[in-house]
Amino acid sequence: MQQRVDLGNMRHGTELLKRGFAKMQEGGVIMDVVTPEQAHVAEDSGAVSVMALERVPADIRSSGGVARMSHPKLIKEIIETTSIPVMAKARIGHDEEARVLESLGVDMIDESEVLTPADPFFHIPKNDYSIPFVCGCTSLGEAVRRIAEGAAMIRTKGEAGTGNVVSAVKHARLLATEIETTRRSDSNSRENIVDRILGGYRKLEKSSEIGASVETTPFGSLEEVRKEVKSVLNEVSDLGRLPVVTFSAGGIATPADAALMMKHGMDGVFVGSGIFKSSDPTRTAEAVVLATHHFEDSTVVAEACEMVGEAMPGLEIDALEVRMDERGW
């Protein structure tokens, strides 16, 4: 039986605070918003937090170009107009965007593949910050690397801005299967898993013409990183789940989608384009929250589905020119 996240045995005080904030989001819906007015809609509908963006993922996808951190003015306006926590996105590996967001007073930073990555080799050293981070994953290895780097929350990536839940389901199923494989592994197999996960820190070697070898990372030496990875993997084995709150994101467009991901063992959902690209954002927001809270009751989920009008138009994953879920490593 999958256990809940236990905060009683954190290794550091700051780790307890960061994971504690993430746990406060458990069971809820976090909504992407691009205006203070949308933030009010999210708060009134029962969202536990909002993600401040200049464009929802569907618009980022259709516009193309380089997607960066939102403008500080927009983030400040949203912080000032809502009483629920405000998150914001930084590009993968972009320490300075993250520092700006920290100074603005956001409650959590999303190191996000929805924005254009800044560093092709390493993510942000999240333990260096006083506020918590959420990061995406498509697999257990990716999740363990991010937690070892200091992430306080994980979200399965899905494929943002598509209104198509298939990638979110794929990542949730793969994560669950790999967790079960880890639980069944013996000591030798566990070491092999650690070696495979550490391979994600050697991407730079493949770009070197002279055969450069990576011995240090922004997170410490490879030996230090190995110890962190092994520690996180042992927690996963003991708990039968990730040791941090785990949400689902990317392609969740309807109340039924939200309920589906909760039944896949998620602790909550991120919803962006699916709400504010629908025909009635206010009702859709309320319906997604209702279905998330009552995902085990199909009668309530059906009522939530009746509340909404036309969902956002969806995209076929195989036809996408840009796969955001492939960003990050």
Rounded CA-CA distance 268/248 in Å is 6
Rounded CA-CA distance 117/112 in Å is 8
Rounded CA-CA distance 329/137 in Å is 8
DSSP string spanning 104-133? HT-SEEEEETTSPPS-SS----GGGSSS-E
User: Does residue 89 have an active-site annotation?
Assistant: yes
Rounded CA-CA distance 88/95 in Å is 14
Rounded CA-CA distance 53/72 in Å is 10
Indicate the length of the chain as a whole number. Answer: 329
Structure token pair of residue 243: 């040791």
Catalytic residue among 23, 89, 157, 230: 89
CA quadruple 79, 19, 121, 139: dihedral sign: negative
Number of CB atoms found within 10 A of residue 10's CB: 15
Closest listed residue to residue 232, CA positions, set 179, 186, 269, 173: 179
Active site residues: 89
